[in-house]
Every structure is written in structure tokens, then in C-alpha cells.
Homo-oligomer: A and B are copies of this chain.
């Protein structure tokens, strides 16, 4: 028995090595593929998704049935379920990516040295990217499209509960890759539900250059702990809005409502409201009423509850919580300094805003809040590649290295220095 298990493990390793090696070979071809060809293939992939809609929906129906049998949560099944509209959106996204500027080969800067050397710093693809995700099948085509456009080979490892849907989508995309004469390793799909496959891939730094886990905290932590390959984390969004003493109250209310209610399930929605003590008494009743009218459950610190005694008490865990739901924790703070310290301590370095008319406090907040996106007088909901004018994103990085905030095509590239000389040697 032991031998047979060992053999299985060896054969798993061999299969993963073959897959990763093919991706490595493909990325050499992709690095010099011209934009026109890439855009044609992206459009063809989009059309192919529409052409094979029935097939994809059928595969998805089986995944959903299995998930229901396993009594997985409603929100899980909601994320898993595809319909015609969602497949159309996936196809449209591929079309959108085809319209974005190709970052590969673009010079970031160029200069000449006194000895005549011409130096330029040029964008190049990262190489091979492993994306590990959970139950959203649209991630399959979204990530494939963005990695392909930025000249990277991608290895897709989705959650086992979505494996039929993901495989159906992958097969459709893969057929277009092969039809275009591109190497099959351009997009790879880990077909096994064996969890050890990920462990094996995370050791393959010879082939894979970057890992992006997309999913819950436990998945991200597990990947980080096991990976020998650099990881960029798209971690939770515990976003804050601080309403300063000098805030335009109507503006503050409008921003808080937008950031909490417009789409509570996303990472750039606000989770904690901080209110300056000097305006708490006037501001809180009006704000809480509006939130409650919109169906938001408000949880408050003791000072908040002195003004609004009927709301639930916020406990320590609330300050760390990413609710992704119609829940908001509220804390009264002494001043902008306490607000900043709270955010740096409890936040997730994602997106945080101050509402104020005080220029000094605004600048202090922008400088000292250590988050990817810091706002004055605007909703945190703008943290998004399209809203920033950068185009589609593969996620919002809460890491500090390589990419921070919305991670689009440019952030899926690195650079090389190209130096042209006429025989120069070093003195």
C-alpha cells in the first residue's frame, strides 16, 4: 500500500512538472507575441464562450447540484452558479481586455550615459503565473485573458467544487489557443482535485515566477506558508471612513451610504466608520437612522452607544472584521491621530477615506494611513482598475511589494534593462 501511495505521489509530481514545464516553454513564445495577434485570440476566446454556452451551463449545473448535495452555503452556491448573463459578461471582459493597451515592450524610461551607452528600462512579462482560486468560475476566463494579454503563461487551479465548470471554460479557451497556433502551455489547467497538486506546484520555482491566491484568508495564508515562489496577496478589505469634526455632514452621509450600501459584498466596501467626538452627537443619530433605513446593522463602541443606546455593542473582533454584508461597526475617536492609529492597527491596508474640510488633517491622513489607496472626500468604492482609468484588474493587492492596489496589465509585467553600446568597457 505504501509503495502504491508513493508511486501516486511521484506520478502527481511528474504530471505537475510536465504541466509547469510546458507553461515555461510557452512563456518564451508569448513574450514576443505581437499585440494584434493577442487581441484576435482574445476576441476569438470571447466568441467561443458564447458559442459553447450550453456546454458550459451543463457542466455548471452538475457542479451546482453536487454543491447542493454537499449542503454548501447559499452564498457559496451563488458564487458558483453561472447563467447566460454571466457567461456573456465573461465574453465581454475578454473583449475589453483586447482593447486595453499592451504593456509588453513599452519603455518605462530611457537615457544616455556620458560614455555613450544608451540605457532603456523596458516592460517584459513576468513569465509563468499560477492562479489559485475558489468557486467563481468566471475567474478562469478573467485570469486567462489578463495573463495572456500581458504575455504571461498561466496555470489555473480552481476550487474542486467548480471543477466541471472550470474545465468546460478552460477547454473552450484552450481550443482557441491551439487553433491560433500557440503552444498549449499558454493556458494550463490543473485537472486533478488532489489537494497535494498545489503543494507540489508551490515548490516549482524553476518554472513558476508568481503565485496569486484569490479567495478567503485561510487559502491565502496556506499558500503563503507553503510557497517557495513569490506570492502577491489579494487579501481582505477592512476599509474605513473617518468623518472629521469639520466634515460637510451631507457629503459624509452620502459617502458612507455609498461605501456601505451600494455593493456590500465587495472588498472596497466600508466596514468601519470612525467619527470625530466633537460631531458624534449631531452626526450619529442622522447617520445611523439612514443606515438602518437601508437595512444596515450598526454595531457601536461604548461612546457610540452613549449617543445611540439601542444599537448592538461592537466587540474587539468587529474592528478586524470584513463583513462583506450590510453590517457596519462605528467608533467615536478623539481626533484624526486616533483615527489613523486605529486604521493602521485594525485595517488591511486596502482603502481608507477621510471626510473633512480641514486641509491639514486631510494631508496628515493621506500621509500617515498606510494603505494602498487613501481618499479625501470620496467613497472607498472607487478602488477598482476601471474606476482609476487603468482597465481590468486581476485583483486588488494588499501586499507592499511589486504591486499595490488595483493590479492590472502593467502590474502583470516586470522590466529589463536594455543597454546599447559601441564597444564601451569599464575603466
Contacts and interface: CB of A to CB of B under 8 A. Distances in A.
Interface string A387-427: 11100000000011110110000000011111111111110
Contacts of A376: 419-421
Contacts of A312: none
Contacts of A231: 230
Q: For chain A, give the interface size range.
A: 35 or more
Interface in A223-257: 224-225, 228, 230-232, 248, 251, 254-255, 257
A419 B209 contact: no
A373 B344 CA distance: 38
Interface in A185-237: 205, 209-210, 224-225, 228, 230-232
Interface stretch (A53-61, A62-70, A111-119): A111-119
Given A28-B368, A401-B209, A424 B374 contact: no
A32 to B, nearest CB: 6
A368 B105 CA distance: 12
Interface stretch (A290-298, A325-333, A377-385): A377-385
Given A401-B401, A414-B401, A377 B344 contact: no
B405 A402 contact: no
A262 B382 CA distance: 54
A425 B258 contact: yes
A378 B419 contact: yes
A145 interface: no
B373 A400 contact: no
Contacts of A228: 224-225
A46 interface: no
Contacts of A210: 400-401
Given A225-B228, A383-B417, 18 more contacts: A32-B368, A111-B389, A224-B228, A232-B401, A257-B425, A362-B420, A372-B417, A373-B416, A375-B421, A378-B424, A379-B424, A379-B426, A381-B425, A381-B426, A402-B402, A404-B415, A404-B416, A405-B417
By Cβ-Cβ distance, the 3 closest A-B pairs, closest first, are A378-B421, A258-B425, A381-B426
